[in-house]
A and B are shown apart, each in its own frame.
Chain A
Amino acid sequence: MQFLQPHSWREALEARAAHPGARPIFGGTDVMVDLNFGRKRPETVIDLTRVPEIREWNREDGLLRIGAGVTYTRAITELGNLLPGLAMASRTVGSPQIRNRGTIGGNLGSASPAGDALPPLYASHAVIEVASTRGTRRIPVGQFIIGPKRNVLEPDELIIAFIMPEAEGPQQYAKIGTRNAMVIAVCSFGLALHPESRSVGACIGSAGPTPIQPRDAENFIEDVIEEHDLWESRAEIPASALDRFGVLASEAAMPIDDVRGSADYRRHAVGVLARRTLTWAWNEHRGVAG
């Protein structure tokens, strides 16, 4: 096995172009598991940890541009106030060791439907920036991930960053697991309120082939909020609407039965999480605890 260690983004793209079958590695928390289980044995591995460009984050045109190599720990400590939903999701990832090594770029690279970083990205309409020696393109996250463990990355492309707006309202992330730490999501739910654009972003994790945006649920609750003029009045959302939001979310799920949970349970739990996360976020918007 060949181990390449580029020291700049340029070098990385060139290495990638020269070895189309190569496997990029950052934190290695997915790559090394695959190697150890003998699932994937790439000829070449390209280590991106020495590339400074993808470990940085900054503001760009009023948005946050976050390097693919930002770890969960950094998402919590450095971005916690700017992207609370992503930070909440990051806190649920693995253990401290995994959070110190694992990256959001790696989560996008793996494109697992259970990836915990993904629902917050969907809920805030993040855009993924990928590049090759041929050039750069930006792809909305919902189009970047196209199936279980599949994304649209070309063999010569690398993920450089993702771009998303700083939180303009409350955000939530909730994850079901059969134990209280170190667990792959049985299902999860990410939610972001966008008071400025008067919209609600939501995403179901681990209950379908990809993360799923429950558009009917989003539209429904946006309409309810508009109709009652709740963005401004900050009054309560009627309980029946919260329930309905849950029902629509659970209808949007496309879960399967597997060792981690049954499809019926996942569908049910998505509904509960949708209702609860919306309740918490809305309470925060209203300025009440809960």
Chain B
Amino acid sequence: MTTTPTRTRPSASRTRGGIGESVGRPDGVPKVKGEFEYSSDLHVEGMLWGATLRSPHPHANIRSIYTSDAEAMAGVFAVLTHEDVPGRKVYGMEIPDQPVLAWEKVRYQGEAVALVAADHPETARLALGKIRVDYEVLEPVTDAETAMSEDAPKLHLSGNELRRVDVRHGDPEAAAEVVVEGEYEVGMQDQAFLGPESGLAIPDGEGGVDLYISTQWLHVDQDQVAESLDLPPEMVRLTLSGVGGAFGGREDLSMQIHACMLALHTSRPVKMVYGREESFHGHVHRHPAKMRYEHGATRDGKLTYVKANLIFDGGAYASSSNAVCLNAATFACGPYDVPNARIESHMLYTNNPPCGAMRGFGAVQVCFAHEAQMDKLAEKLGMDPVDLRLKNAIEPGMKFPFGQEVPYPAPVREILGRVREIPMPDEQEAMGRDLRELPGGVSNTTHGEGVRRGVGYAVGFKNIGFSAGFDDYSTARISLSIEDGEPVVRVYTAAAEVGQGLVMVQAQIARTELGVENVVVEAADTRTGSAGSTSASRQSYVTGAAVKEACEKVRERIFELVRDEFGESDELAIEDGNIISDGREIAPLMEILDDGEISEIVEFHHRATHPLDENGQGDAHFQFAFAAHRAVVEVDVELGLVRVVEIATTQDVGKVINPKALEGQIEGGIAQGLGLALMEEIRIQDGEIQNASFTDYLIPTILDMPPVKMEILELADPEAPYGLKGVGEPPTIASTPAIVAALRNATAMELGRIPVRPEHIIGIPKKPPDELPQPESSRYSGIGRLEDRRET
């Protein structure tokens, strides 16, 4: 990784492990050794095992549910249905439209219908088989376009249109000298986190419950669980347990309410763990999209207008579809100066699995389309694709098509220019290479035959944090005290560490601000106020800012004590546990604090955002992050197999907080982008998932992931703590279109759909395999027909 310092600031502290250092994960070694306790490993004596009965049908009326046979089984402690939900029978983050347990109707395959608690997981599983549900199977609506039509069955009382966002900008009649059109499709990607949904609910004996859980946002879970249990929130306490990845898939509830219902019903601790197959049914996925685009430009390559019609399949329930629909509408044109735009973004209910948050959140789908369009336009204009982008790159001070002024920094031009400058990988002769350096790898499909190289570029952007008027805040409490003769800082937040590295960021900020090396980041729970969601790349910014401000308050109180005691008026600092004034140590912290503890709570709210008006105009977002990618691929054009040779990327991160963790985010995000480009898709037929396992839901392995060259820009955002920008999502956004652009470059195929399959690359079934000589062809006649040869 190369970083390009674009400004220098005096380091706040020389204390080790502060911001800017590659501080290691506290759970890194235990995870590698298999010793880390994930939520699926939780255990208490006497606990029961919960299990969920799910609908086999994507669309059906429920006539009746018989539970007696299951209840009669030895070892079964509870069988619950919708009748047993104590409070609100539905849940949902944006719109509570999803039944805790289905009644009357199921709207997707895998919808939860009944629960069992038993003394052994196998007993629970067998008991599920004894629950009889009488379904009247209905024709499923399995396609968003079908769901839009007048005569489609209405899946919800509100109709099938879950959200529509229109962005109207400039002249709707704008005409252009050069026009390109395209249709693009994105398949349903899964977060494919490794730790299945799991948790442990322990009743407190007084009507309340403690839930140990893997989630992205403790407080939004707490609110929803409490509503459905009909309890005040303080009687439902959540503690974050070991999370095995999230990527958006843990924003919605899975087994939270269910485990608590079973625990309160049985007065016993209840653990629930989904199996892998159940997990694929148990969380939301990335929205599939169909997108029609038209770009108009002048002959010299200035964009005149963009028209886009975006149709998203939201699946059976709302989840966070509303926000995805808005995001897609606002990012549909890409990070370009577009004088006129008409964007329609439609989100539909269908009987497919519900879709919701996943890394990139609406920006991923449209980036695939707008970047393909830019390449198409470049080709039509005879321009270099990067030059075309540079020519249209958006800049601070301009307006996005949704009316918001582009804030500083928005270095689209810089990142594109720099990514092009990163040295290209060597190209050795394909014939005779090590198999691992060829498409197909050790599967030995080519020794160099048919291998062609291609290069593609893409740039993408996305909002950081929650948008459109949401009060997106975080709470942090910092305490400083002396323990065993040493100053110790404790950080209390409810922010979920899901593997992204916030625990390090929090500690690094505390070390930097308080000059104390010994920082303990306490387990996240609902005793501290909400930290908001670990999503939208927002925690380093929002919780980071809360931690920073709380540390500053603590520090100010120490300085007051110092001033009271020593009358020092010079600028004070804390370094390595000592108070410094004017470069001189004046006292150790220990002396100042004695046995006292200084503690401060801060609730940090970032600049307010606003909903879009009816023309899709408004200051909807508060920070934007940009990344550009260059992909080099090699394609076996006869077999359609791909080797991604290298990804080069430039990303503006404002400030590098933890270089190693940043590298990890960038490489991981690119792996997920590569997965979407080449292999990751939940295949659905008639509303049913065909590949609910890692046997056939393929994610890239280490042999599929290329080396990544990265160059990092640090253009400080003047409003953000340390100037930082969220880094988690941008690597996923433009990596996918860059890879597909490289494939197009190598093969000259359209490739309007991702994931690209081998058959698309070689044009099957559209084109018969023309390279094989047919019996009548001239090449064939030299050899003769087999039957003829046999006779002679």
Contacts and interface: CB of A to CB of B under 8 A. Distances in A.
Contact of A91 (B442, B762, B780): B442
A181 B703 contact: yes
Interface stretch (A19-27, A142-150, A192-200, A215-223): A215-223
A88 interface: yes
Interface in A249-285: 250, 259-262, 264-265, 268-269, 271-273, 276, 280
Interface in A208-226: 216, 219-220, 223-224
A280 B758 contact: no
Contact of A280 (B447, B640, B704, B774): B447
Listed residue (B443, B639, B700, B773) with the most chain A CB atoms within 10 angstroms of its CB: B443
A173 B444 contact: yes
B704 A181 contact: yes
Contact of B779 (A182, A186, A240, A280): A240
A241 interface: yes
Listed residue (B444, B691, B786) with the most chain A CB atoms within 10 angstroms of its CB: B444
Contacts of B786: 216, 219-220, 248
A16 interface: no
Given A244-B773, A262-B764, A264-B759, A179 B444 contact: no
A37 B277 contact: yes
Given A174-B445, A262-B759, A243 B639 contact: no
Interface in B420-452: 431-432, 436, 440-447, 449
Interface string A165-207: 0000000111111111111101000000000000000000000
Contact of A180 (B449, B683, B704, B769): B704
B765 interface: yes
B interface, by DSSP: helix, strand, loop or mixed?
A: loop
A265 B756 CA distance: 13
Contacts of B780: 240, 243-244
B615 interface: no
Nearest to B697: A259
A280 B445 CA distance: 11
B649 to A, nearest CB: 21
Interface string B22-36: 000000000000000
A182 B442 contact: no
Contacts, number: 135
Contacts of B691: 259
B695 A184 contact: yes
A268 B780 CA distance: 17
Listed residue (B440, B445, B700, B757) with the most chain A CB atoms within 10 angstroms of its CB: B445
Given A178-B678, A178-B679, A180-B704, A265 B640 contact: yes
A92 to B, nearest CB: 5
B110 to A, nearest CB: 15
A182 B442 CA distance: 11
Nearest to A89: B444
B696 A260 contact: yes
Interface string B103-132: 000000000000000000000010000000
A262 B696 CA distance: 14
Nearest to B773: A243
Nearest to A175: B443
Interface in B696-747: 696, 698, 700-704
Nearest to B765: A264
A261 B759 CA distance: 8
Interface of A: 33, 36-38, 88, 91-92, 172-184, 186, 216, 219-220, 223-224, 238-241, 243-244, 246-248, 250, 259-262, 264-265, 268-269, 271-273, 276, 280, 289-290
Given A180-B442, A181-B701, 7 more contacts: A88-B444, A174-B444, A175-B444, A238-B782, A243-B773, A265-B757, A272-B769
Interface of B: 125, 275, 277, 431-432, 436, 440-447, 449, 638-641, 643, 678-679, 683, 690-691, 693, 695-696, 698, 700-704, 757-759, 762, 764-765, 769, 771-774, 779-780, 782-783, 786, 789-790
